[in-house]
Amino acid sequence: METNKVKVIFISGSSHSGSTLLDKVLGSHPNGVSLGEVYLTYQKFKEKPEQFDNHKCSCGVNGNVCVFWQKIFIIWSSNDVKSYNQAYSLMLDHFITVYGKHAFLIDSSKYLPAIKEIQNLNDIELYIIHLIKDIRSYIVSQIDRAKQKGKYRRFANLKHARSWYNQNKKIQDYLSSKSMNYINLGYEELCMFPKLALNDICEFIGEPQVLELSKLENDKSHLLTGNAMRLDPKKSAIQYDFRWFNRRDWILPYYFWKKVRNYNSKVVYSRNYNQIFERSRKKE
């Protein structure tokens, strides 16, 4: 059925959940175009529009000459934009002009405020992927990031565990309470079983399945803000960080908070890909 609505794939989750990776992966789909953290891009542009003169886009040029964002900045500046949903609608009009009505937009803005702003827009068909990283991996990466910045504190693992749980539970509860069109996807499931995960995503969003979707070389992405990996040419395939396998930092909060441990098992590994793998192997 033909529709004038733009299909928007919104990646939700906590901070450092792997959303940039999934954004770029989906951008390698023939119909997909990655725009990164649109909400953050808009907030930063509203505060300091001049900063994008020298801000590198993942397409390889600065934002002020990017084939997509250059025009968006002009539109936002010249239309006296007063709200994010107004800015989003204007962006969608330009998106259709550049990429056509059969392209889908990938927005990895992650957080609830961004969802709430756009969920009632009449010109979008919204699909939400709640991406959740295993809490053990999350804790270890957050600790290492803090150490690199010289900000590590004792018992930081407890703080990170609480933050992970609160962020993801809040998103999950909201999506459920509003009966929104969403699926859960574990970051570990994406990295360890990419074909299964990406097939499920394509089925969910109603797009053709593509065999080489896990390759990032040909992604059509215009990520201006967010994780630095958006600019890293070496990130050309899905890879998993196994650091936490040989660490103990996560043990205390993981076993101390039963509800957090149970929630992790429920939402990160909800798709049972390991069982699917075992069943398919027995058939061979």
Give me 106's structure tokens.
């990938």
Q: Residues near 182 by Cβ (< 8 Å), separated by ≥ 6? A: 12, 127, 128, 129, 130, 175
Give me 91's structure tokens.
């962006």
> Does pTM top 0.85 for this prediction?
yes
Give the residue numbers spanning the domain of 249.
6-283
pLDDT at 61 over 70: yes
pLDDT band at 277 (very low <50, low <70, confident <90, very high): very low
- pLDDT top residue among 152 and 28: 28
Q: CA–CA separation, 249 vs 160, rounded Å?
A: 11
pLDDT per position as a tens digit, 24-35: 889 889 899 999
pLDDT band at 283 (very low <50, low <70, confident <90, very high): very low
- pLDDT for res 210: 75
Tracing tokens 């192997």 back to the chain, one arrives at 281
220 domain-assigned = yes
- pLDDT for res 152: 72
* Average pLDDT, integer, range 107-112: 96
Q: CA–CA separation, 12 vs 101, rounded Å?
A: 24
Q: CA–CA separation, 73 vs 87, rounded Å?
A: 10
1 domain-assigned = no
User: What percentage of the chain carries pLDDT values higher than 70?
Assistant: 88
CB 268 within 8 Å of CB 197: no
pLDDT per position as a tens digit, 119-148: 999 989 999 999 999 999 999 999 998 888
108 domain-assigned = yes
Q: Residues near 232 by Cβ (< 8 Å), separated by ≥ 6? A: none
CATH number at residue 75: 3.40.50.300
209 domain-assigned = yes
160 domain-assigned = yes
Is residue 206 helix, strand or coil?
coil
Our count of domains for the chain comes to: 1
- pLDDT for res 50: 82
- pLDDT for res 262: 94
Displacement of CA 266 from its chain's centroid (Å): 20
Does the CA dihedral 84-85-86-90 come out positive or negative? positive
CB 236 within 8 Å of CB 216: yes
DSSP 8-state symbol, 18: S
- pLDDT for res 136: 95
- pLDDT for res 1: 46
179 domain-assigned = yes
Q: For the chain, where are the E strands, in sequence order?
A: 6-12, 32-34, 104-110, 124-132, 182-186
Residue 276 CA neighbour count, 13 Å, CB half: 12
Give me 273's structure tokens.
């890909």
Q: What is the C-alpha end-to-end distance of the chain, expressed in Å?
A: 39
Q: Residues near 217 by Cβ (< 8 Å), separated by ≥ 6? A: 28, 236
Average pLDDT, the chain: 87
* Average pLDDT, integer, range 268-282: 63
pLDDT per position as a tens digit, 4-45: 789 999 999 998 899 989 998 898 898 999 999 999 999 998
Number of H helices, E strands in the chain: 12, 5
